[in-house]
């Protein structure tokens, strides 16, 4: 894995687009063996009314954004936000456990979201 010049345990910055439809856990970033996925920035826009929890993995999920802090989204803006943005944060907003994927657990009729994520892989 290419490393950045500041921290030998952190990869270069990576980018992932989001375009998913459905309910339940939907993978945003695939797990990397022995690495944590640290989110530096995120943008999500919704196409349908949905509630999103950001979590790591599906087998034994750990909610990173969610639980009582669910992201309620509505394209009309009446029952929730039309879009959700975490601006660039060099230190990161949150990270998965090592070896875990980053998922969006969506509830509602049939969630449909699009956006992008900026992240790094961290070797503990």
Indicate the domain borders of the chain. Answer: 14-122
Least confident of 46-50, 84-88, 97-101: 46-50
Residues 6+ apart with CB under 8 A from 53: 63, 65, 66, 67, 70, 71, 104, 105
**Phi, psi for 46 (deg, rounded to 5):** -105, 150
**22-32: pLDDT as tens digits:** 888 889 999 99
What pTM did the predictor assign?
0.86
pLDDT of residue 24: 86
- Give the 3-state secondary structure percentages of the chain, helix then strand then coil, rounded to 5: 0, 60, 40
Q: Give the CATH number of domain 14-122; options: 3.30.70, 1.10.3470, 2.60.120, 3.40.50.
A: 2.60.120
pLDDT of residue 90: 92
Question: Which one has a higher pLDDT value, 7 or 78?
Answer: 78
Question: Which one has a higher pLDDT value, 7 or 36?
Answer: 36
Q: Are 16 and 66 in contact (CB under 8 A)?
A: no
């Amino acid at each position: 894995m290419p490393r950045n010049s500041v921290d030998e345990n952190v990869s270069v910055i990576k980018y992932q687009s989001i375009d998913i439809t459905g309910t339940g856990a939907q993978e945003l970033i695939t797990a990397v063996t022995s690495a944590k996925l640290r989110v530096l920035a995120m943008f999500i826009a919704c196409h349908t009314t949905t509630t999103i929890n950001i979590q790591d993995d599906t087998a034994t999920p750990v909610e990173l954004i969610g639980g009582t802090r669910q992201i309620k989204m509505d394209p009309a803006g009446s029952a929730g936000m039309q879009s959700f943005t975490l601006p660039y944060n060099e230190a990161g907003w949150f990270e998965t456990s090592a070896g875990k994927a980053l998922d969006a657990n969506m509830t509602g009729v049939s969630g449909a979201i699009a956006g992008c994520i900026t992240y790094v892989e961290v070797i503990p």
